[in-house]
Structures are given as C-alpha cells and as structure tokens.
A and B are shown apart, each in its own frame.
Chain A
Amino acid sequence: MKVLHDVSIEMTEGETVILLGTNGNGKSTLIKTIMGIVPPNQGEIIFESEGVQINLVGKKPQEIVNMGITMVPEGRRLFPQLTVEENLYLGAFRREARQNLERNLSYCFEVFPRLGERRTQLAGSMSGGEQQMLALARAIMSSPKILLIDEPSVGLAPILVSQLMTSIKEMKENLNLTVLMTEQNFSQATKIADRGYIIVHGKIEFRGSNVELSGNELVKQYYLGT
C-alpha cells in the first residue's frame, strides 16, 4: 500500500505549519517518517542546522531527537506506571536537554500548573486532558528546535483545546520553536498556524496561508462539516 506519494513540504525556522487531511491520508506516517520511525522508500528529509544540511533518511529516531527534532505522538504514549515527574525527566534524555533540565522543568510547570500539582501522581491515573499536557511537556523537556505534534486536541474539553493552542503558541514564541502539527480542529489550529498543507491519499493536494486554507473547498468538505 502506498501511504505517501511524492510528498514535498518545507518549514522555515520559527514557522507553525499545519498538516490537514482526513484520517488515513498519511499525516501521521509523514511525521513518523521525519522522526525515522518509518523509513521512506524514496526521497530525502533535509534538516539544516547552523548552515549544515543533513539528510535524516537512514538516521535512527534517537539520532534525530539528538539533533533537536521531537514528536508528540498521537495517543500520548506516556509511561503510565511512572509519575508525572519521571515522565518529564525521561523526556530530557538527550545531552543538551539534561543541561537545561531544571529550567525546562520549571517552564513546563509554569505553562501547565496542573502538572506541577500532580508531579508525584502516576501518569496513567490522570485524565485524558492532563495526559495530553504531559505528552506535550515531555517533548518540551528535550529542548527541541523542531516540534512535531500529532493531533494534540484529541479528547480535550473545548475550554482546554483553546488553552492548549494558546500554550503551544506561547511555547513556540518563548522557546523559538518551529512547529509542524496535524489537527482535526481546523478553526482552533488556524488560530496559531502560519500556513498549511492538505494531504489527500498520500499526496499534497493544496498548500497555502490560513486565509487560503479557510476558503478552500477541500477544507470545507472535510473539516467544517455540514
């Protein structure tokens, strides 16, 4: 089965880009391919850091994380039997992140005070929304330059979705992140995105600014519903 077909996307430092498309169209696969979890059959993934271009294809996920690219996986994938704090420490596994551990930890507790209140609680015993915050915070603990976020608002109460989007925006600005995000909640996602792509059956069918996306027929058909 062909999941991605001749897909080209690019992100400039500091951008927030959304990846749209209904389910089963290859969005998560694209994120996993960037992270080295799924190897592509063809193509290149180029990461430019301090003027040096590196092809990520063939690199292991941990090597990619070490370069400063981190994902927040769909479905959170926390360590349920570990505490909130232990999950966060594990996010800071890479060397650069260890040096910034205390700073990042207090930053996470500042953005998500609930995690601070629950630092000794087991991750698996928290509600879905709290777990989503933890998954995001764990990614921040790795001191990323690029953050790939797969469906952050799934399972969150409406009030939390807008808070989460605001938090992502704040973190992006404060930490100078570049963000690629898949999200089904179109109106919330476009509040923080600079531009986006629509992916249909593994191909990029449209690319444009927020305004162009909002007026696009594919978006109306798939996202805004009837």
Chain B
Amino acid sequence: MEKNSKLSIITKGFFKENPVFVLVLGTCPTLATTTGVIGAVSMGLAATAVLICSNLVISLLRKLIPDKVRIPCYIVIIAGFVTIVQMLMHAFLPDLYELLGVYLALITVNCIILGRAEMFASKNSPVDSMLDGLGMGIGFTIALFLMATIREVFGAGAFAGIEIPFLKDHTISFLVQSPGGFLVFGLLIAIVTLIMNAQGKKAPELGCAGCPAAAVCNAASGKCPEKEEKKGEAENA
C-alpha cells in the first residue's frame, strides 16, 4: 500500500497531473526550448535536478521557515540550486550551457518549481517531496520531448539534429517559430484533455492554492480573488 502511494506520487506527474499539459505551468520554457529535442531534454533534466533538490531542502526546512518569509526563502533556495546547476553545466557541459542560454537561469522563476514547493514540499515529508520533484520533473521532460519532437521533425526535418530524408525537404518552418509553438502546445493540451475525458478522469481543480503567486495575492489571507469575484457576481445577480 505504502509502495503504491510512493509510486503514485512519482507517476501522477507523468500524465494525470502533468505540469505542462494539465497544470499548465512552466509555459515560457516549454515554448522557448522546444525548437530542438536536445535543448528540450536538457532543459527538462536541468529543471528536474533543481526540482528534486529544492523540494528536498524546502521539505526538510518546512517546520523552520516562518510562514511570512516562506516565499523569499523558497526563492533563495531555488535560485541557489539553479546557479549550482548553471555553474556545473558551464564547466562540464559547455555545449549544452550555450544551447540553453538565458533559459537556464530562468529556471529560477519556473512556475513548476515554485508551485511544487508551495503545493507539495512545504506540506510533505522529504522523501515524498523528492519523489514528487522526480515525477514532476519527468512529466515536464516528457512534455518538452513530445513538443520538441513534433516541432523539430516537421518544422526542421530533423530529430536531435539528425536530418530525416524526405522530411528535410518538406519542412513546415512555421512550427519552429513562436506561433507554431503555441499551436503545438494547444493541440497537445487538447489531446491530453480528450484522453482524460475518455477515461472519465477530471483534471485536478487546484484553484488558488495551485497558483505559484498565491502567497503574494489575497489567497494568503484566505480570500481567493477568484472566489471573491464570483461571490460578488452572485450577490449582484
């Protein structure tokens, strides 16, 4: 039973609560780094490493971090791990470091990482938090890989930089540009939603608590702006 629940913590990020296609977090790096498979998978793995480490540390410190300064504390911890990953990649994987460019540093403000810190690591045990980080990281990497495969294969006629006969002469270059990214992103979300509907599953309703900005808006005081707005509308009606 325990084993099953640990496994479900990891696997929920793959599909049921996929951070990109279901929770719709981390959209910026998803669109920006999916023009090529190598860049996308590298970004996914770098974010996974940061997710696991930051979830572990935040979970270990969850009883020591005061509620009022938890967001600055989380940001310092996440930024620290991102900088460490950045330094290690710069030193030992310079080609990947150059490929990811500015997006590597931007992992600090990736909503998935802050979102999981706030939603999961701050409330669960270190082991569970690490498993959540691993599952969400793998889910993020799978999503980036899928998007990058479609965009690179049909947009550039190649896979991981290796040219594909026939397709390389019949590319849809629109797919590797920004609008193409949005199109593929939207289509994949639609497909995932269709599959979930067919299986009778509903996407988790996370509401304000699921928003990485929850701590800095009214949700922190127990007043969800979304709910307040609906309440106001109902009263007016």
- Same complex for A and B? Answer no
Residues of B within 8 A of A (CB): none
